[in-house]
């Protein structure tokens, strides 16, 4: 009589890639998560693939950051190298790349800065360049997470013009500003050096606006949309599910992961059951795809038939 099913094929594992080889640097605020070089990343991805996890979402941590984040479209950058290695070694695993500048800019914002603010329109061209570079390396899906207005259209146009008309865009369409990205910013070394992201990410109070944001991205050509974070925004997932028939992803972000892990480490909560209930809740709300740092662990639990 179970209404909601959770399978490994609905899960996507985020991975953080750095230059070099045999590098594995644990992220302190996300136990079990690490920044790795491409070779080490491959073994994590292989494990995920063997467990039936659908795909991986790649974030790059470059050696060099600058004001425009120019390493983001370096064809020899860590993400581009990782995509090529994954498509060569594990061709069945879906490779999604996060398209954003915050890991690549020295100020840590998701776009170029003019005065004290992000310059929305000047950022679009750079994001498009980054997306084309990922598609050229062989990315199956590009996923812009910057929340600039108009970026889906800009990326779609650039991809089409460069011969990537079949590369889909998974848009981080309703992405809320807030504290739940804290551990990720340790992992991706992307904490803003001044100010915050509230001029481009959404206000946690706004559910109707989230639907508007999603519909704008759909109109610009998004092929899939995402709500993020997931757990505190289950109502938004539900509303978006009703507003579009596109595939819907939800991102169980770093803070959601680390809260469960930290409470379990203290013996205050049952890790496996809290993980599974959090993921089932996201599915029940209406998400088709869940991006989660628990992807491998949850896949193991599902396959063991133990929930």
* Alpha-carbon span 233 to 282, nearest angstrom: 9
Q: How far apart are the first and last CA of the chain?
A: 14
Residues annotated as part of the active site: 175, 228
| Residue 100 binds ligand PBG, judged by CB under 6 A | yes
Q: Judge whether 219 and 270 are in contact, CB under 8 Å.
A: no
Scanning residues 249 to 288, which ones bind ligand PBG (CB under 6 A)? Answer: 253-254
The percent helix, strand, coil of the chain (3-state, each to 5) is 45, 20, 35
CB nearer ligand PBG, residue 22 or residue 151: 151
In DSSP terms, 24 is beta-bridged to 36
Residues 6+ apart with CB under 8 A from 259: none
* Alpha-carbon span 82 to 241, nearest angstrom: 32
Query: CB of residue 181 vs ligand PBG: minimum separation in angstroms?
Result: 4
Q: Judge whether 69 and 105 are in contact, CB under 8 Å.
A: yes
CB nearer ligand PBG, residue 231 or residue 286: 231
* Alpha-carbon span 197 to 195, nearest angstrom: 7
| Residue 96 binds ligand PBG, judged by CB under 6 A | no
CB nearer ligand PBG, residue 217 or residue 306: 217
20 dihedral zone (left: phi>0; alpha: psi -120 to 50; beta): left
Residue span binding ligand PBG (CB under 6 A) among the ranges 96-104, 119-127, 158-166, 261-269 = 96-104
Largest CA distance in the chain: 58
Query: CB of residue 30 vs ligand PBG: minimum separation in angstroms?
Result: 8
Q: Judge whether 215 and 242 are in contact, CB under 8 Å.
A: no
| Residue 68 binds ligand PBG, judged by CB under 6 A | no
The 173-212 site mask, x for binding ligand PBG (CB under 6 A), equals --------x--xx-----------x---------------
Query: CB of residue 22 vs ligand PBG: minimum separation in angstroms?
Result: 25
Query: CB of residue 165 vs ligand PBG: minimum separation in angstroms?
Result: 25
CB nearer ligand PBG, residue 4 or residue 191: 191
Q: Count residues contacting ligand PBG (CB under 6 A)?
A: 12
Neighbour tally for 139: CB within 10 Å? 27
Scanning residues 116 to 155, which ones bind ligand PBG (CB under 6 A)? Answer: 145-146
- Contact with ligand PBG (CB under 6 A) among 51, 53, 79, 110: 110
For ligand PBG, the binding residues (CB under 6 A) are 98, 100, 102, 110, 145-146, 181, 184-185, 197, 253-254
């Amino acid at each position: 009589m179970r209404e909601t099913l959770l399978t490994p094929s609905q899960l996507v594992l985020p991975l953080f890639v750095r230059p070099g080889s045999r590098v594995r640097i644990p992220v302190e605020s996300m136990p079990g998560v690490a920044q790795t070089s491409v070779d080490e990343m491959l073994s994590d991805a292989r494990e995920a693939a063997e467990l039936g996890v659908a795909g991986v979402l790649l974030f790059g941590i470059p050696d060099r950051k600058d004001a425009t984040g120019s390493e983001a479209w370096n064809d020899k950058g860590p993400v581009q190298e990782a995509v090529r290695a994954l498509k060569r070694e594990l061709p069945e695993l879906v490779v999604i790349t996060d398209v954003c500048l915050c890991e690549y800019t020295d100020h840590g914002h998701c776009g170029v800065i003019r005065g004290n603010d992000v310059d929305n329109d000047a950022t679009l061209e750079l994001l498009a360049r980054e997306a084309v570079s990922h598609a050229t390396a062989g990315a199956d899906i590009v996923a812009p997470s910057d929340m600039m207005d108009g970026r889906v259209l800009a990326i779609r146009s650039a991809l089409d013009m460069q011969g990537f008309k079949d590369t889909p865009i998974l848009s981080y369409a309703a992405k809320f500003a807030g504290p739940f990205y804290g551990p990720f910013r340790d992992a991706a070394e992307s904490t803003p050096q001044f100010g915050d992201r509230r001029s481009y990410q959404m206000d946690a109070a706004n559910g109707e606006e989230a639907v508007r944001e999603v519909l704008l991205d759909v109109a610009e050509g998004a092929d899939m949309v995402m709500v993020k974070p997931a757990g505190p925004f289950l109502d938004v997932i539900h509303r978006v599910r009703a507003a579009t028939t596109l595939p819907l992803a939800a991102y169980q972000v770093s803070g959601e992961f680390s809260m469960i892990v930290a409470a379990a480490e203290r013996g205050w909560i049952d890790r496996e059951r809290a993980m599974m209930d959090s993921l089932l809740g996201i599915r029940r709300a209406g998400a088709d795809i869940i991006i989660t740092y628990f992807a491998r662990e949850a896949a193991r639990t599902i396959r063991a038939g133990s929930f």
